[in-house]
Amino acid sequence: MDKVYRLMNIITMGQTTPTSPPEPEIALKHRRASRWFHWTNFPLLALMIWSGILIYWANDIYHIDAGDYRLKFFPRGWYTALGLDHRLAEGMAWHFFLQWFFVLNGVAYVAYTVFSGEWRQLVPRRGTFRDAWLVVLHDLHLRKTPPPQPQKYNGAQRILYTLIIFFGVFSTLTGYVMFKPVQLYWLRELLGGYETARFLHFWLAVGYVLFFVLHVVQVARAGWNNFRAMVSGYEVK
């Protein structure tokens, strides 16, 4: 990949035959490892949520009340329409199989981010929260001036991309509390007991879905060059 990159630079600097049209200047944005972690996580998380719903169906107790209105997670018709009912055994089988890969991919990603030093571009730092607020105002068309983005990610991205890792950590921990509440009694007590762990596990899953929606909207808004960088690694400057 680097060879190609150098070749491209030579081309853009016009050191080849003058007849070839000038190529745009490109730069590496997402390294190969990050891209693999990202795209491996996507189907795994999707399948974890899918099998999680198959399990949750068997005892679907959570809801949001707003006055007289109750938003139930989920209405009976919703399961039957999507064919997600009466599949507890299948859901558990997939969930406890795939969790290995979901957790290993997540651990590998965090280890890579730490050892490569890429964490510096990701974690919030001084001024990140103010920057994030400016991003929100700008994206909601309440403020004209573009927010500052001195590095790879803006303030909002730093917060969310860090937060989502903590989601993963807590999904894993609360999941294991439910999986082995007796053997992992210390973890169970640390996280407030079995019922609390189950509550957190469910709402974290809802959190992923909300993150996904926001992420896809923002990626669509950012355009092809940005998306292509997550596929090929390179962006056009």
Partner 1 sequence: MRRLTARSLMLGGLVTLLALVAFLAIRTQAHDNGIPWFLRTAHDFNGRLWSGLFSAQRTPPKKGAPAATKPRVNGLLGIEAPIDVRTWRLRVYTEDKLVKTLPLAGLKLLPQTNTATQFYCIEGWSTQFSYAGVKFSEFMKSVGIGGQYKYVGLETPDGKYYVSVDLDSMMHPMTLLAFEMNEQPLSNDNGAPLRLIIPIKYGIKSLKRIGTIRFSNTRPPDYWAERGYDWYSGL
Rounded Cα gap, residues 170 and 180, in angstroms: 15
By CB under 8 A, residue 59 contacts partner 1: yes
Q: Given the complex with partner 1, which of 12 and 162 has the nearer CB atom? A: 12
Q: Which stretch binds partner 1 (CB under 8 A): 75-83, 105-113, 192-200, 211-219?
A: 192-200
Rounded Cα gap, residues 113 and 110, in angstroms: 5
Rounded Cα gap, residues 17 and 162, in angstroms: 46
By CB under 8 A, residue 112 contacts partner 1: no
Binding mask 6-25 for partner 1 (x = CB under 8 A): --x--------------xx-
By CB under 8 A, residue 27 contacts partner 1: no
Rounded Cα gap, residues 191 and 170, in angstroms: 9
Say what the alpha-carbon torsion angle 15, 19, 21, 23 is, to the nearest 10 degrees.
-20
User: Bridge partners of 66?
Assistant: 69
Q: Out of 72, 152, 180, 216, point to the residue binding partner 1 (CB under 8 A).
A: 180
**CA torsion sign, 47 to 34 to 152 to 116?**
positive
* Residues near partner 1 (CB under 8 A): 1, 4, 8, 23-24, 26, 35, 39, 43, 47, 55-56, 58-59, 61, 88-90, 92-94, 96-97, 100, 178, 180-183, 185, 193-195, 198, 228, 231-234, 236
